[in-house]
């Protein structure tokens, strides 16, 4: 971003403190907030319709699978009347039921974590969109006497790399010193609030589920070890080398509502008007 000369070869780049005015109108705020009610309602409806019975009346589901297994064994002629062995038959039933139950619990596990991952992506895209549109607004161009270009030096969309992960967003908020007003009337840096920390937790869970072992899973384990299932002292994630093909995270301890409420509260707490200063590279005519 910066003022572009007609001939790039005649321009120089300098660092300059730019002042940014941020505005969040009531319509946009209401839209940003409402999506979390819709996401939560959809999550809860899907859970009740598909997975609640699996978790609360597992014995009923298991009994149905036993009958299903019996029919499968008969229909596919897995039972030979001349060589029938009840022990083998019972083992086949148990194996069938175990595999189908495990599949269904895995689907619930994936549903919860995919829902969480989508939830975080909604928040991040909301935030990046609002920040980009606010920072490149013509009023900010006017007060800083610059022209924000939407194409970078490689002729690519500048938005592609615009604070495109949680760490960069945290750095941006830290530099701008944007704040919330707490219930006591005091100003609190957004990055130091419980709201931001909870959103970070959701981000780490999302990345751990999507990518497995790595930076996010290490940070998640250091801060929230209770989310990792273990056998003795061995994490199941390390044992199975996956986070989405096996149930290695404890979804019973992970609350979709908690993170959804944090993101909703983030936008509810965002002020209508706010400003901050950021040191940026500005290209000027030589």
3-class secondary structure for the chain? CCCCCCCHHHEEEEEEEEEEEEECCHHHHHHHHHHHHHHHHHHHHHHHHHHHHHHHCHHHHHHHHHHHHHHHHHHCCCCCHHHCCHHHHHHHHHHHHHHHHHHHHHHHHHHHHHHHHHHHHHHHHHHHHHHHHHHCCHHHHHHHCCCCCCECCCCCEHHHHCCCCHHHHHHHHHHHCCEEECCCCCEEEHHHCHHHHHHHHHHHHHHHHHHCCCHHHHHHHHHCHHHECEECCEEHHHHHCCCCCCCCECHHHCCHHHHHHHHHHHHHHCCCEEEEEEEEEEEEEC
Q: Is residue 174 part of a domain?
A: yes
The predicted pLDDT at position 5 comes to 41
Sign of the dihedral defined by the CA atoms of residues 84, 86, 91, 92, in that order: positive
Rounded alpha-carbon distances, angstroms, from residue 281 to 134, 148, 278: 18, 11, 10
Domain limits at 227? Answer: 8-45+118-285
| CA-closest candidate to residue 280, choices 162, 123, 118, 110 | 162
Read off the pLDDT of each residue in 238-263 and give the average, rounded to a whole number. 97
pLDDT at residue 195 greater than cutoff 70: yes
> Comparing 9-13, 82-86, 125-129, which segment has the lowest mean pLDDT?
82-86
Give residue 83's pLDDT band: very low, low, confident or very high (50, 70, 90): low
Q: What is the CB-side half-sphere exposure of residue 227 using CA atoms within 13 A?
A: 21
pLDDT at residue 92 greater than cutoff 90: no
Q: How many domains does the chain have?
A: 1
How many residues appear in the chain? 286
Read off the pLDDT of each residue in 165-184 and give the average, rounded to a whole number. 96
pLDDT tens-digit readout, 197-233: 999 999 999 999 999 999 999 999 999 999 999 999 9
Q: Is residue 96 part of a domain?
A: no
- CB 216, CB 228: distance < 8 Å: no
Q: Is residue 80 part of a domain?
A: no
Read off the pLDDT of each residue in 100-108 and give the average, rounded to a whole number. 97
The predicted pLDDT at position 99 comes to 96
- CB 262, CB 199: distance < 8 Å: yes
Helix axes 256-269, 86-135, angle to 10 degrees: 10
Work out the angle at residue 229's Cα, subtended by the Cα atoms of residues 50 and 98, and round it to the nearest 5 degrees: 50
| CA-closest candidate to residue 169, choices 266, 258, 264, 35 | 266
Q: What is the CA 10 to chain-centroid distance, rounded? A: 44
pLDDT at residue 2 greater than cutoff 60: no
Q: Is residue 25 part of a domain?
A: yes
């Amino acid at each position: 971003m910066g003022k572009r000369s007609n001939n790039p070869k005649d321009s120089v780049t300098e660092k300059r403190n730019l002042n940014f005015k941020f505005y969040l109108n009531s319509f946009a705020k209401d839209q940003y907030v409402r999506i979390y009610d819709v996401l939560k309602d959809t999550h809860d409806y899907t859970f009740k319709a598909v997975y609640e019975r699996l978790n609360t009346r597992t014995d009923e589901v298991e009994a149905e699978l036993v009958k299903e297994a019996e029919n499968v064994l008969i229909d596919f002629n897995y039972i030979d009347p001349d060589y029938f062995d009840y022990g083998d038959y019972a083992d086949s039933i148990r194996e069938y039921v175990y595999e189908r139950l495990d599949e269904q619990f895995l689907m619930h596990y994936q549903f919860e974590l995919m829902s969480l991952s989508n939830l975080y992506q909604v928040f991040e895209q909301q935030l990046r969109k609002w920040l980009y549109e606010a920072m490149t607004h013509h009023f900010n161009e006017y007060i800083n006497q610059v022209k924000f270009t939407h194409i970078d030096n490689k002729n690519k969309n500048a938005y592609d790399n615009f604070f495109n992960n949680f760490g960069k967003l945290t750095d941006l908020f830290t530099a701008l010193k944007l704040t919330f007003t707490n219930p006591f009337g005091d100003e609190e840096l957004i990055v130091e609030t419980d709201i931001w920390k909870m959103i970070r937790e959701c981000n780490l869970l999302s990345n751990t589920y999507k990518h497995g072992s790595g930076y996010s899973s290490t940070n998640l384990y250091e801060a929230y070890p209770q989310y990792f299932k273990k056998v003795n002292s061995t994490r199941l994630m390390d044992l199975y080398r996956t986070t989405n093909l096996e149930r290695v995270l404890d979804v019973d301890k992970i609350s979709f509502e908690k993170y959804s409420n944090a993101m909703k509260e983030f936008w509810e707490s965002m002020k209508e008007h706010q400003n901050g200063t950021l040191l940026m590279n500005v290209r000027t005519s030589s």
